[in-house]
Structures are given as C-alpha cells and as structure tokens.
C-alpha cells in the first residue's frame, strides 16, 4: 500500500507511522524492515536566523511528482508499503515538514528506498520555500541543502 498526503496543518510523524502500521496491510507479515525519515524545520539557513517559512505548491502537480518518485523507488527495490507525508503552508522552527517511510522484507531495500525517495523529493518535486528572517525580511530558497 502506498499513502501520499500533503498537509496544510501540523502533523505528528510518529503518530502517522503508528496509525499507518495499525491498519490491516496486505503482506504485513512479510515486512522485516521499516526505514523512516522525519524532516523538521531548522531555525537557521545559509548562516541566517529563520523565524518562519511558507511552503508553496501546485497540488495536482506536486501529487503527481510524489507518485512518480514512489513508482521509481518501487521499480528499484522490493518495497511492500510506502508512506509519504509533506507539509505545506506556514511552518515554524522544529515543526515536522516531511515523513518518508518504507517497509520491505529486508533492511537494505528499506534503507535504500527511503533515502532515494527523500533525495528525489528534495530535488525533483515542486515545492517552493519562502523564509522569514529574524530581521523581518523574506527570501525565496533557491537551492536545497545537500543530503
């Protein structure tokens, strides 16, 4: 099962993981490994203090891009389940921005597919970030930080 969600309100990534795993899943007993990544907002970027961020997207375009990333991962690894949740809208430092989790029979596929999805998401999925700096000014983030 694949679940991809875009939220415009805060979410609890650990609760989302628990809720996903609590539902009856096909091949649930075949999953020997789960890998997850939780990304949160930092209060600093490019050496400047950041007090808030707005994450923008085009819903259909972003959803299709996320689905394509998951399909690419499924073509490379034996993934049983995938969960991707991404936040949009107004975000504060230490808020969760993204959760990526993959389930597989073995740890290598779980680790590798989770990292792949996260890296592809950061580099190919259309999200635009506008930061508010501590002096009240705003700037668009032009590039993502590397791994």
In the sheet where 33-40 sits, what is the strand order?
A: 2-7, 79-87, 96-104, 33-40
Measured CA to CA in angstroms, residue 14 lies from 69, 96, 100 at distances of 22, 10, 11
pLDDT exceeds 70 at position 38: yes
Residue at 145 is within a domain: no
Structural domain contains residue 113: yes
Q: What is the pLDDT of residue 106?
A: 95
Domain-located, residue 119: yes
Q: For residue 110, what are the domain limits?
A: 2-140
**Global confidence as pTM:** 0.93
Task: Lowest mean pLDDT of 9-13, 37-41, 44-48, 109-113, name the range.
Answer: 44-48
> What per-residue confidence (pLDDT) applies to 29?
77
13 in any annotated domain: yes
Residue whose C-alpha is closest to residue 101's, from 13, 42, 26, 41? 13
Report if residue 59 sits inside a domain: yes
User: What is the per-residue pLDDT for 147?
Assistant: 58
In a domain, 38, yes or no: yes
pLDDT of residue 37: 98
* Number of domains observed in the structure of the chain: 1
CA angle 9, 26, 103 (to 5 degrees): 60
pLDDT band at 10 (very low <50, low <70, confident <90, very high): very high
Tell me, what CATH number does 71's domain have? 3.90.1170.40
Quick one: pLDDT at residue 28? 73
6 occurs within a structural domain:
yes
Identify the pLDDT of residue 80.
93
Q: Is the pLDDT of residue 133 over 90?
A: yes
pLDDT tens-digit map of 47-97 = 999 999 999 999 999 999 999 999 999 999 999 999 999 999 999 999 999
The answer to whether position 147 is within a domain reads no
């Amino acid at each position: 099962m694949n679940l991809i969600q875009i939220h415009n309100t805060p979410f609890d990534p650990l609760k989302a993981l628990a809720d996903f795993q609590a539902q009856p899943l096909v091949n649930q007993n075949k999953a020997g490994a789960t890998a997850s990544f939780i990304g949160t907002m930092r209060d600093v970027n490019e050496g400047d203090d950041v007090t808030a961020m707005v994450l923008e997207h085009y819903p259909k375009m972003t959803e299709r891009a996320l689905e394509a990333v998951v399909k690419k991962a499924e073509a490379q690894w034996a993934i049983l389940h995938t969960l991707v949740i991404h936040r949009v809208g107004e975000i504060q430092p230490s808020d969760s921005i993204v959760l990526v989790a993959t389930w597989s029979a073995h740890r290598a596929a779980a680790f590798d597919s989770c990292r792949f999805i996260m890296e592809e998401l950061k580099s190919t999925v259309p999200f635009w970030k506008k930061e508010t700096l501590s002096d009240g000014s705003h700037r668009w983030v032009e590039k993502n930080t590397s791994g």
